[in-house]
């Protein structure tokens, strides 16, 4: 929660500074960023995330469910995930910088997908991994939209491409 709070505070400070100074500030707020990694080796933040995934921390339980215990009967929440490819975030930032008409706040979100559908997508790419089998329905009403960013000319890649490229980059890095 501290990470999310720091992002909210940083955006608020940037907007307040813009008001005081007359500076034109545009913010791009990405949802959960996913995709291939740039660095060829494991970094501490990714190792921590990977560790959290292996112990199936509720929030992250489906971001990389490739090491799920075989035959596990544990139910996981069928929560909605809001994902965007890291490469699409980079393109959104460039677009917001380069377009003179860019103003205000932009939500950078490509895919809203629940846990079961995400697992099904992963199964279609890598069927030989162990995946969660039981999902319990939860009430999930959060809905965001990137329509404002799309009107600026932004587009995003298909979820299958993001998942395929991400998993391949993790594999190449030995993660």
For residue 55, what pLDDT is reported?
A: 36
Give the H or E element holding residue 89.
Answer: helix 86-98
Main-chain dihedrals φ then ψ at residue 97, nearest 5 degrees: -75, -40
Q: Is the pLDDT of residue 56 over 70?
A: no
> What percentage of the chain carries pLDDT values higher than 90?
42
Specify the DSSP class assigned to residue 99: -
Mean pLDDT of 9-24: 93
Give the range among 30-39, 65-74, 103-112 with minimum mean pLDDT.
65-74
What is the set of active-site residues? Answer: 7
For residue 39, what pLDDT is reported?
A: 72
What is the spatial distance between Cα 88 and Cα 57, in angstroms, rounded to a whole number? 26
Q: Which residues contact 46 (CB under 8 A, 6 or more apart)?
A: 37, 175
Mean pLDDT of 69-81: 72
Report how far apart, in Å, the C-alpha atoms of 21 and of each of 9, 17, 50 are.
Answer: 18, 6, 42
For residue 17, what pLDDT is reported?
A: 93
For residue 97, what pLDDT is reported?
A: 95
Mean pLDDT of 154-171: 91
What is the spatial distance between Cα 160 and Cα 52, in angstroms, rounded to a whole number? 23
Q: Which residue has the higher pLDDT, 135 or 69?
A: 135
Q: Which residue has the higher pLDDT, 46 or 168?
A: 168
| Domains in the chain, CATH or no CATH each | 2-172 (3.40.50.720)
For residue 53, what pLDDT is reported?
A: 45
pTM recorded for the entire structure: 0.79
Q: Is the pLDDT of residue 71 over 70?
A: no
């Amino acid at each position: 929660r501290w990470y999310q709070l720091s992002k909210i505070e940083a955006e608020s400070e940037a907007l307040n500074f813009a008001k005081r100074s007359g500076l034109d500030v545009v913010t791009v707020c990405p949802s959960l960023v996913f995709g291939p990694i740039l660095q060829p080796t494991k970094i501490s933040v990714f190792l921590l995330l990977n560790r959290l995934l292996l112990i199936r921390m509720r929030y992250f339980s489906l971001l990389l469910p490739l090491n799920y215990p075989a035959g596990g009967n544990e139910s996981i929440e069928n929560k909605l995930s809001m994902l965007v490819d890291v490469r699409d975030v980079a393109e959104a930032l460039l677009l917001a910088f380069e377009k003179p008409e860019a103003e205000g706040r932009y939500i950078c979100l490509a895919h809203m997908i629940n846990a079961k559908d995400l697992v099904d997508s992963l199964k279609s790419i890598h069927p030989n991994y162990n995946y969660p089998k039981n999902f319990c329905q939860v009430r999930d009403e959060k809905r965001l939209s990137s329509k404002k960013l799309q009107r600026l000319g932004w587009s995003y890649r298909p979820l299958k491409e993001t998942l395929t490229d991400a998993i391949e980059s993790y594999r190449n890095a030995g993660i």
